[in-house]
Amino acid sequence: MRIETLLSKFAIKGINYDPQSGGGKALLSAEEQLAVVGLCWHESPVGWLVLFVEGLRDVHALKQLQIATRGEVLRLMEDWRGVYPEKALTALCATAIAEATQQNGQVCPECNGSGKVLSKCNHQRKCQCCKNGCIEWTQETRFAYFAQVLPVTYSRFKRYNEVLFKIVNWLIESRITAVLTMEEHLEKESQLMYETN
């Protein structure tokens, strides 16, 4: 079962798990899938929040993720030398969450994610701004995103980037832990169901 299938339980758009419907039968019922989330939640709550933001654009999960990320930023910046404004924490959190939940990159504003643009002669051309409709995360794109919240010089951003790098890794590792935990649990459940049949 794919992660999208499980996450879709929290936004039931067009998915019917009723065995009576002709739309295919799920391996696990809706209640069983929700139980899996509950059982796996404690392994990596931050990872689950990342998945909810990434897969469902869940506003409540985003607020919780911002709080958790801010706590981690504060922990990492305990020994920070010098001063920094409150907006720096917000910019670090926003940039790290954006990168962790959009790992392929941001949707390109020039081609709107299509990867193609029209030339002056109305011929389709490959968009030179992105790769397959997404602008990949680089030092420059991180700086641009960060500077939307806290407009600083690039040299100052490089100092913040040390913390940003650690936060992004922390979020991605938490996400991986949540996915692996869920997959392990689903595999055990499937094996148990197979043995009982």
Query: CA 141, CA 40: separation in Å to the nearest integer?
Result: 34
Q: What is the pLDDT of residues 156-168, one digit of tens each?
A: 999 999 999 999 9
Q: What is the pLDDT of residues 79-135, one digit of tens each?
A: 988 899 999 999 999 999 999 999 989 989 999 989 999 888 888 999 998 888 999
- Within 13 Å and on the Cβ side, how many CA atoms surround 89? 18
Query: CA 105, CA 141: separation in Å to the nearest integer?
Result: 9
Query: CA 189, CA 191: separation in Å to the nearest integer?
Result: 5
Could you tell me which residue, 46 or 192, shows the higher pLDDT? 46
Whole-number pLDDT of residue 35: 61
Could you tell me which residue, 23 or 123, shows the higher pLDDT? 123
Whole-number pLDDT of residue 12: 35
Q: What pTM was estimated for this model as a whole?
A: 0.78
Query: CA 55, CA 4: separation in Å to the nearest integer?
Result: 7
Whole-number pLDDT of residue 19: 46
